[in-house]
Each structure stands twice: as C-alpha cells, then as structure tokens.
Structure 1
C-alpha cells in the first residue's frame, strides 16, 4: 500500500492505517520543508497526506476559476476531512494565512496536534485557542513526532 499521498494524487477510499495530514507553514516555499522530515519518520506507521505539491506554480491565479488552484484547495479540504490526525506546524517568520484558516476549521475536531514557534506572529492567538479547546501543543516538531510514534506502537 502506498504510504504518502501528495496533492493532487487521488486518495483511496479504503486505508488500513491511521492517516496524518501535514498542515502548516509552506508560504510559497518560504518555510523549510518540514513535511519531508515528517514523511521520513512517520511513513512506517501512518499514511501521510502532504499538501506540498511537487509541481506548484506560483503564477497560478488563486481563484475558483483556476482549475489547478481549485484542485489543490479541494484536495487539501478532502484530505483534512479524511485524516485521523492533523499536524499543524506554524513556522516563525511566516504569516501562514491558510494554515490559520485550517487551524480555525479544525480547532474543535480533537484530531489536531500543534507546534507554534516562539516567533510566529500570532503565537498568542494559537496558544489561547489550543488552551480553550484542549488542543495538544508541542515545543518542537520532533517532540510531536515522537509523541505520535509512541502512541501508535
């Protein structure tokens, strides 16, 4: 069975393992490729949904009329809905508006685990929402990954 699905690959209806969606900072590649690290460490125990598309074109107009853009956003929404666990990573020195939108959509889902770096511009907001809705927070991505691996043994 395939273990990593990247946008816009079709996600099968039947998946036998727990699934993890890698949500968080990409910001037109301003953020480090943290998703690659997650893939490497988690793919033995989980099926990964990674929205970081291999052939992204930043010249695409971000409108509903643009078929490539609509395909990307639709894939992400479907994968978020299907995921058992959502890793939400907010990298410092990024704005991450789409990640903030997804965070708001899934804050009460009980399937999100969050890392927000100290210098993220809205860290206070993230901390308060996590506290209010009992969203698990971790200081580092490595800590979050170890938590997932230990719970899935």
Structure 2
C-alpha cells in the first residue's frame, strides 16, 4: 500500500494494483482522519490518492490550479473513488466530484442521513444504481 498526496507526482499503474481516490469532506479537527482509517484498513495492493492539503486555504492562484489539475488527473486514474460526506460538512467540492463521477461506476458513496444534502445524494445514487452507505465501516470490503 502506498499513498500519493497532491504534492506527489502521480504513479504509472501496474496490473496488480488498485488505485483509490479518497474524495470527500475534510476533517482537519479530528485526531485521526477518515482517510487514515481507510488507508490503515486496506489491502497491500491498493494505491491511494489523498488530496488533503493542510495549506489549502493559503495556496496562491497558480498553486491552486496545479492542485485542481492533480485532483482531476488522480480521479481519472482511479479504479474506485470513495466519496465520504461527513455529517456536519458542507462539502461543495465533494458534491462537484459526486456529479462528475456519478456515471463512472467508480463511486463508493458514504453519506450519513445527517448530511444536509442527504436526500439529494441518496436520490441520485438510487437513480443511477450507485450504492450508498451510511458509515465507513460498510465500505472496508472494497479496499
């Protein structure tokens, strides 16, 4: 298992590897992030793309453009995208990624009923036959 962040060059894929993009709400205030929980519970052949940047709010325009391009390229490379909406978050970028990749068959959506747009997310998942889970523990079978 390896983790690539937005500061890393993206890898070339080997046949025996699975690429997983960790999309969703940011949880800077938590002592252990949901992304770390997924990574620690995964198989050895999974390569993760973690877009989290603690300096996100201080990036200048050029740095932000590079960051966005890295995310888009990593999303395209990914075999699966775990999209986790946290109950208290607004997650506007995650909602954009949700729309962009809904028809890709890559999405594994985690959306608790407390999320403010749960009805929107669950209705779209139902329409496009995308599984929706209410907590992270339900998705460990995929990674």
Tell me, yes or no, if structure 1 residue 72 matches structure 2 residue 72: no
Q: Which stretch shifts more, 14-23 or 96-105? A: 14-23
Q: How does 1:1-150 map to 2 (within 5 A)?
A: 3-16=2-15, 17-26=17-26, 29=28, 33-53=33-53, 55-61=54-60, 66-145=61-140, 147-149=141-143
Unaligned runs of 5+ in 2: none
| 1:119 Cα deviation after fit | 1.1
Report Cα offsets for 1:79-119 as digits up to 9, x if no partner. Answer: 00000000000001110000000000000101101110121
Unaligned runs of 5+ in 1: none
Q: Which runs of 4+ in 1 moved over 3 A?
A: none
Q: How many residues align?
A: 141
Q: TM-score, normalised by structure 2?
A: 0.90
Report Cα offsets for 1:7-58 as digits up to 9, x if no partner. Answer: 121112233301110000017x3577211111111252311111113x5242
